[in-house]
Structure 1
Amino acid sequence: MKTRSRRPARICTAAVLALSLTLPASVFAADSPAASLPYSVAAISPFQSAPAANAAGNTDAVPVTLPALTSGPQDPKEVEAFLDGLFAKDEIKRKASAATVSIVRDGKVLATKGYGVTDTESNTPVDPDKTAFRIASVSKVFTAAAVLQLVDQGKISLQDNIEKYLDGHKVTNPFDKPVTIEMLLTHTTGFEVRDPSSDNFLFDPAQTPMSLKDAIFADFPPVVREPGTSYMYDNFASELQGYIVQQVSGEKFSEYVENHIFKPLGMNASSFSMPDKLAERLATAYDPAGNAIPVYRLSPSDLPEGSMISTSGDMARFMNAFLTGGKTEDGKVILSPDALKGMSTYHSSIHNQVPDTTYGFEAPFVPGKTNGQHIIAKGGDILGFSSLMWLLPDQKTGVFISYNTNQDLRDDLYKAFMDHYYSGKKDSFGKEGYKPQAAAELAKFEGIYADLRSATILSNLTVSADGILTMENGLTGQHKLTQVDDLLFIDDKGAPLAFRADTQGNILYLKYGNPVSYAAKKPAAAGFPDIPSDHPYAKPIHNLQSLGLLTDDASKPFEPLQAVTRGEFIHALAVELGLPASENPAKLSDIADSKYKAHIQGALELGIITGTNKGTFEPDRSISREEAAVIIARILHLSGYPESESKVKLAPGTVQWAEPAVKMVVEMKLHGPEVTVKDGVTEFNSKAAMNKQELAALMYALLLPF
């Protein structure tokens, strides 16, 4: 089976959501450098806004029952009582040992609170004005503000071609449309994915960070979609914004923000470069097992997309200035009315009821929970810290939270706050009295869609004869959809799914499940002469072909029963999951001449394979099904997938050392119909050679939710 190499998203897949070896996941939301650490952490992309699900994959925040108010927060004592009541709950306390919160309205600070302790050894209480937290992608708000300050001064135009500021560098762009400053701000550049990786985390104080300029040009992405036509959370776009601020102002990026935003606002405990005086005040972060995460620095030291640290007291100062005319306490304007309007207005939307981005902010991650209010939000995650800031500009109200874990505590606060203070109106989608289209018209939506940012997050849409559209999504599972507008649906939980079409009505993108990216509709599979639609493995084979993961000649038989070699197996997984190829000399004596040598060596270095006791790999030998299961289990374990006692009963025939792996693969349904169960006993055919159709089933299963 031939696989097509491509640059994969750094979040491996919804299934292997933590292949945090050298793979990324989500700062800002971004990638966890877990491979280099002495402990395991769930992969969270350090520079992106994080997914709504918590570490356990649970998207349902803790239910909080509090008396509802309808006029918004006003009385400081009442607001403090609201927060104290929420953070007193055991289920909330379990989500973070340190949290800091601030709530402002109309120029007044209604609450700045610290909960928990800065570390579990000293038990020092969190001080909202002194205890610092990494705010991850919330940093992007300040980067965008810096850009707009220069726009206000006439030094930058929103419509400028970015090449004007790239020292002669020419962007690889096959489209007759340049990438502009505004596209950087709205994350509609069309750039190929570039997210932070483990290389951006420095745990050794002796390591020297890269310069921002070197980081920008070390791996400048090509444009792969028409600029301005699609939204994808774009860490590189924010990093480039910071570099352009540096170029135009003549000041180092972190110093520019310090001089023109932090100092004027009195944000004395905020920094993009984390000086020692603030590093000492940083709350200790903990991994899911409760182990303290060592203090780390970032490379570059001032990453515009997510290196900022701050306190809730400082963030209250910024929120109040933003909400009351962009002025400091002494009346100095730091953001003009035009800049404030640009940051408060949505400029990118897949549908007028499903917005994407303002300049610097995004739509809230909790769908259907604005309660009729205009809300702009920015969340962020980095190794050990999660944050969220959301503003209601019309109400001159803002809330900020940061804490020392990667859990969904912010969702709990967001839902509780909105229901407590703004419960008067519920969200609705679509047009009143809209009549859904007939099945024949809905057929245009059918097909497989791959997420732009994490291409292995899939959506599969089918239409039944009676016009029911069903979504199978790699993040949310399976849902029935109800059409409420021409290009807008809601699922059975009330969450919106929106489409974008071209001028001819052809469907291009959808937005659903992942709030920070569109998914592109993939071309229908060409198929193979020997794989008819009713073939038992047609779905995985055709879908992998549609995704570009199979490059077998479609005009020739696929030969689904052909055995897969050990080298082919490693190569196929490496391409799908983004496992790195190694340039190091071969350490196994028989792989030097293999065309899969680089991926085999890379798998060896990651501990995914070990080789035989003779120092060989036997790349041309057929791989047995139990050997394949062991390799899959190692990948999952390295990614942080928890081990548990399996209840699977296997038929005789599996070697003892492979039994735990085979049981894990069976339990997680990482196989096709070749695995059968009779009288509670599973027949895995462990000794049989894995064939191409079985490998296709395995690969496709890795793209789906467990």
Structure 2
Amino acid sequence: MEKYNTPGVSIAIFNNNQITWTDTIGYSDANQQTPLTTNTKFQAASISKPLTALGVLKLTQTHNLDLDTDINQYLTSWQVQNPFDEPVTIRRLLNHTAGVNISGFQGYPKSDTIPDTVSVLNGLGNTPAIEVMITPGSQFAYSGGGYTILQQLIEDTTGTSFQDYFQKAIFQPLQMTDSTFNQHPENTSLAHDQQGQPHPNGWLIYPELAAAGLWTTPTDIAKFAIAIQNAHQGKPGAIIPQYLANAMLTPQNNWGLGVGIREEGTDQYFFHGGANPGGYKNIMVNAFNANAGIVVMTNAEQGNKLHDELIRAFSAHFNINVLQPRHIQPIPLTDEQLARYTGTYQYREAGDYYLTMTQTEDNQLVLHDPNDGMTNTFLPVDDTTFVEIEEGFEITFDRDAETNAVLSVDYNGAYTFHRVDDLPN
């Protein structure tokens, strides 16, 4: 926590469909040093989406909605503008294949005028209008905008507020007593920046409730995750029927309805992370065939690095193939050998996207991304391959066979950055 400037963390672990351990460490306010409790609420950020998905699936059951019907047949206050022949459906919105824009939202200071749902949809807030940009059903495109459409679906269908619907349909039945979509809740943790200092406004407001506006605790998210597992197993009294839970956990492009789905070895798990600007980073993982899961919520910008450490510890403890610790054997390189890799690298596909690489005195390379201020530290495992010491991904350098000059660096098998002389003026 000290390393990642994270003042507070709250954790819940569940096993065999029961919450078996909860704990909090640290403070809800770094300056006041107010101790966290297991009832202290955090902004869930994008972990709002799995809860929204459950609420929408429950709505389809109680109001006889079809997952694969054009959603405009159900919307009354606003209509999707879709220039394509393929329809925007509830299923496609839930699994991010509806082709809708706006991946995430930036939030509003508490002093701002906060737009309602229709205003957000019409682009009258701090994001563009929510539109269909890609043929629905053709590809995965993560979209908080799509979940805002689902927010309007719930309000139009029920004639009640989003918060009131969830209180009655989800929070009360699952005894999620510390969960709310109210943007001014009590007993909350403040957000903190990369240095671990409280956000000047305490936190930001998110009227995009379905995508990012949930306030909750790890204990309540664990209750949600167990409820989905119970429904998937067809247990009596489940929150939704088994057929809907099965649909939720059926992957398409590694994504179910509201949750990511992965298989590693013999293990299957559903998950979702959450990261709201202002300073909240969270993760939920349910290895449902191993009957074990964990929820970690943090109150700082670097909390994702902390929660990844905790996920690895959890995975090692339960012997689950989810973010297992990776053991590496670094090799020593001389300062001269390291120096050949330092300098500036350009991602040509993005034009003016540059990274810089520096070396340290203890056999490490440090990659700095000036675009988002992030840094990553790497150790060499062979003459051209380096492993990131916190997240375990690799960079591999390509050198000219004759001159030995460094030409480019491959970033985790996903992006290639080419060596350039220097950053442009």
* TM-score, shorter chain, exceeding 0.5: yes
Aligned to 2:327: none
* Contact persistence 2:315–2:323 (CA under 8 A): no
Q: Which among 290, 302, 310 is matched to residue 395 of structure 1?
A: 290
Give the CA deviation at 1:169.
5.4
Matched, 1:338 2:243: yes
Distance 2:250 2:319 in 1: 20
- Match of 1:291? 197
Task: Say if 1:371 and 1:423, in contact at 8 Å, map to a contact too.
Answer: no
Contact map agreement 2:14 2:222 (CA 8 A) in 1? yes
1:507-539 CA distances to partner (integer Å, 9 max, x unpaired)?
xxxxx9799xx99xxxxxxxxxxxxxxxxxxx9
Deviation, 1:151, is 1.9
- For the pair shown, the structure with the greater C-alpha radius of gyration is 1
Residues 379-424 of structure 1: CA distance to partner in whole angstroms, max 9, x if unpaired?
0111211100011121222210001112221211122221232257
Decide whether the 8 Å contact of 1:118 with 1:125 is kept in 2.
yes
**Aligned mate of 2:209, from 284, 299, 303:** 303
Is the Cα–Cα contact under 8 Å of residues 312 and 322 in structure 2 kept in the other structure?
Answer: no
Aligned counterpart, 2:310: 413
Q: C-alpha distance in 1, partners of 2:68/2:348?
A: 31
Contact 1:323 1:397 in 2 (8 A): no
Identity among equivalent positions (%) equals 24
Deviation at 1:265, TM superposition (A): 1.3
Aligned to 1:358: 256
Distance 1:449 1:231 in 2: 24
- Which string of whole-angstrom CA distances, capped at 9 and with x for unpartnered residues, describes residues 83-141 of structure 1? xxxx7xx64xx44110000011122211111011222344333211x211111000001
- Scaled by the length of structure 1, the TM-score of the pair is 0.44
Question: Structure 1 residue 230: deviation in Å?
Answer: 1.5
Question: Aligned residue for 1:379?
Answer: 273
How much has 1:345 moved relative to structure 2? 2.0
Name the counterpart of 1:110.
Answer: 20
Q: Is the 8 A contact 2:96 2:141 kept in 1?
A: yes
The residue number in structure 1 matching 2:340 is none
TM-score (normalised: structure 2): 0.71
1:564-597 deviation per Cα after TM superposition (whole angstroms, max 9, x unaligned): xxxxxxxxxxxxxxxxxxxxxxxxxxxxxxxxxx
- Following TM superposition, by how much is the alpha carbon of 1:321 offset from its aligned partner in structure 2, in angstroms? 2.1
SS in 2 for 1:335: coil
CA contact (8 A) 1:202 1:299 kept: no
Gaps of 5+ in 1: 1-86, 350-354, 428-447, 459-472, 478-490, 497-511, 520-538, 541-664, 672-697, 699-706
Structure 2 residue aligned with 1:201: 108
2:70 to 157, 161, 169: 161
CA distance in structure 2 between the aligned counterparts of 1:163 and 1:135, rounded to whole angstroms:
29
Which residue pairs with 2:229 in the alignment? 323
The alpha-carbon distance between structure 1 residues 136 and 192, as it changes in their structure 2 partners (threshold 3 A), is closer
Instruction: Supply the AA of the counterpart residue of 1:104.
Output: F
Q: CA deviation at 1:339?
A: 2.0
2:59 aligns with one of 144, 150, 157: 150
Tell me which amino acid in the other structure corresponds to 1:288: Q
Decide whether aligned partners of structure 1 residues 342 and 513 sit closer, same or farther in structure 2, where only a CA change above 3 A counts.
farther
CA RMSD, 1 decimal: 3.8
* Whole-angstrom CA distance in 1 between matches of 2:161 and 2:14: 31
Amino acid at match of 1:403: T
Paired with 2:5 and 2:264, the residues of 1 have a C-alpha distance of 24
Which among 116, 123, 134 is matched to residue 225 of structure 1? 134
Q: Is 1:670 matched up with 2:423?
A: yes
SS at 2:23 equivalent: strand
1:45-80: CA deviation from partner (whole Å, max 9, x where unpaired):
xxxxxxxxxxxxxxxxxxxxxxxxxxxxxxxxxxxx
Instruction: Assess if the C-alpha contact under 8 Å between 1:388 and 1:402 holds in 2.
Output: yes
Give the counterpart letter for 1:339 in structure 2: L
Whole-angstrom distance in 2 between the partners of 1:513 and 1:233:
22
Give distance in 2, aligned partners of 1:114 and 1:166.
42
In structure 2, the gaps of 5 or more residues are 325-346, 355-368, 377-384, 395-409
Alpha-carbon separation, structure 2, partners of 1:258 and 1:370? 35
Change (3 A) 1:253 1:450: farther
Cα deviation code 1:620-657 (max 9, x no counterpart):
xxxxxxxxxxxxxxxxxxxxxxxxxxxxxxxxxxxxxx
Shift of 1:246: 1.3
- Corresponding position of 2:401: none
- Write the letter of the residue equivalent to 2:289: D
Count, aligned residues: 348
